[in-house]
Structure formats: structure tokens, C-alpha cells
Amino acid sequence: MINILKQWWQNPLTMYYLALIVLIVIVWQAHAFLSLALFTIVFIYLGNAAIMGIEHHLRLHHLWATLLVYVLFLGALVAAFGQIIPPLVAEASNLPHTLDMLVQTYPQLETELEKLIKNLTQNATVISNGKAMLSSSMVKLSRFSSGVETILLAFFFSFIFNLTKHQLEHFVHAFAKSRFAGLFVPMGDLILKFVHIFGTVIETQLIICTINTILMVLGLWLLGMPSLLILGIMVFFLGLIPVAGVLISMIPLMIIAFVTGGLVRVIEVIVLVILIHMFESYFLHPRLMANATNLPIFVTFITLIVSEQLFGAWGLIVGVPLVAFFLEVFDVQLKPKPVRSKPADQ
């Protein structure tokens, strides 16, 4: 019995799956920091890819390449928001004038609106629901500010990581020579495997955002919306946020649509967003994710639905790489191995 346990313990697969269990326990206990960890991984992966590209093509030192990448990214972000915010503020400032013109054109709207307000203010149920909605809005606003703080912190962590990457490599290699190297080495392999799969999914998400942005800009152009470049930049950046990005982008789009074209254009924009979102959810996202992870489209589609229910918005990003990761951990070969042709008889 002791020999069997000893052989089981010395089996490399035992330590491999023990490392997997330890990582699952660590992630579960630190789930409150999951968003910060995932955003940090995303920024590290994209930043490292850009830094390696600059080092290869421009022959720059790692320090200067890292500084250049992050300065360019910050500059592009500031320039994008600098282009987006002033027009939105200008359109929002014109909104009261547009509403006044609408009331002047249709005087009956003012009478109906006064009746509606009077009925609402006298209804206790509406008042209590209004308070609940206000409270919920404040909570969501708090979560949004917390999310912005998480993104900024993850960006800073990724900068420090990429800047001191070589020092961290020596630090990590020291664990491979420690007393518990049998546990740390498979843990490192599992982490690198997940980061690689997750990075592939993030690259695919960028492609999806690019296609969505192009389709959205073309649709807005056909509807006669102004400031297409600014709206395209806004849609692209907000498209990187699962589910919530679409809802956030709807607010400025509907404001500009109402100011420039009234209720008809607002309805047209809503229909356009719904159509593009359905195209992404039911065709583009499953198909590209399936190609990126070698999963069947049906499996990818079911994974997206289930993971969104389990993990919320993050499930749309994490679900597919998690399934691909566990399939690789359990050595499930999705790609058929190439058959070597036998040499022809002489």
C-alpha cells in the first residue's frame, strides 16, 4: 500500500493536477480581485506583444521600448477622449433647445407631459419605485467609478510588469530550483498555458470590435449621423467592455440621434445597434472564437450562454478560454495530428 501511494505521489501527473487544484482554490479565494487580475493580464499581454515588436523592428532597449508603447497608448487614449467628449457636451447642451423646439412644433406634447407628471407625482407606487431606481442608479454609478479605478490600476500594474519583466523572470525561475519545484513548475506551466489561450481570445475580441466598429460606422453613415470618426472611436473602445459597453455607447448615440434627427432617428439607431449586436452574438463571436480555440461552433455558442449566466459579463470573455484551457489540461486533442507519409519504395 505504501509503495502504491509512493508511486502515485511520484507520478508527474499527480503533481500536475495537484497544482491545478491549488490554482483553482487560490482563484476562488481571490475572486474579489478577478476583474483586476484579468484586466492586468490583458494589458500585460497586449503591451508585451507591442514591446517585442518594437524591440525587433526598431532595435530599441527594453526600457525605451516599454516607455514608448505606454506613452503612445496613453496619448492615443487621451486624444480619443479629447475628440469624443467636447462634441458630446456640445450636443448635450443643445438638447434643451431641441426639446423646446419640439414642444413648439407639437404644443399638445406639453399638455400631455403635464398630465403625466401630475399623475406620477400623485402615485405612491411610482414614487417608491422612483426612489428604488435612484438608489440603484447611484450603486451602478459607484460600480462604474470602481471599474474605471480597476482599469487604471491594471494598466499601472502591467506597465510595472513589462518594465521589470527580466527581473521577474529571474524571480520566477528561482521557484523552479526550490524544495517544492515539483509543485511550482507545473503551476507555472498551467499559468502560462492559460495566459496564452486568454491572449489569443483577447486578440480575437479586438478583431470582433474592429468589425463591429466598421459596421456601426457604415450604418451611422447611412442614417446620416454626424461626427462618424468620433463615434467610431467611442464604439471601438466601449466595445472592449462585454455587454455593458453596448449599453454605455447607446446613451451618447441616442442623444446625438435625437438632437440631429428627432425620435425617428433614435429608433433607427436603436434598431441598428440591436441588429449589429445580434450579428455579433449569434454569428461573429461564436465563429471567430471557435476558430481561435479550435472548438466547434456549437460548443462555443453553448459555452458563451452558460458562462454569461455563471460569471456575468466577464463570462463572455473568460468562458471560452476556460473550456479550451481545461481541454488542453486533460490532453484532449482537438486538432488532428498530421499523418506522416511513408517514404516511397525505391
Extents of the domains making up the chain: 193-332
Q: Are 288 and 204 in contact (CB under 8 A)?
A: yes
pLDDT at residue 38, rounded to an integer: 80
The DSSP H or E segment spanning 320 is: helix 315-329
Write the pLDDT tens digit of every residue in 225-239: 877 777 787 788 777
Separation of alpha carbons 162 and 62, rounded Å:
9
Separation of alpha carbons 276 and 213, rounded Å:
10
Separation of alpha carbons 202 and 240, rounded Å:
9
Given CA atoms 36, 191, 196, 50 in this order, what sign does their dihedral have? positive
Write the pLDDT tens digit of every residue in 184-202: 888 888 888 888 888 888 8
**One-letter amino acid of 68:** L
Q: Are 175 and 188 in contact (CB under 8 A)?
A: yes
- HSE-CB at 259 with a 13 A cutoff on CA atoms is 20
Identify the CA nearest to 217 among candidates 200, 204, 231.
231
By the 10 Å C-beta count (0-12 exposed, 13-18 middle, 19+ buried), 254 is classed as: middle
DSSP string, 65-112: HHHHHHHHHHHHHHHHHHHHHHHHHHHHHTHHHHHHHHHHH-THHHHH
Q: Is 294 strand, coil or helix?
A: coil
Q: Collect the ranges in the chain with pLDDT lower than 70.
A: 1-12, 80-147, 240-245, 313, 334-346
pLDDT at residue 258, rounded to an integer: 78
Nearest 5°: CA angle at 81, between 75 and 84?
Answer: 140
Separation of alpha carbons 333 and 327, rounded Å:
8
**303 Cβ contact partners less than 8 Å away, ≥ 6 residues apart:** 295, 319, 320, 323
pLDDT at residue 346, rounded to an integer: 42
Separation of alpha carbons 303 and 309, rounded Å:
10
Separation of alpha carbons 45 and 51, rounded Å:
10
Separation of alpha carbons 219 and 226, rounded Å:
12
pLDDT at residue 282, rounded to an integer: 77
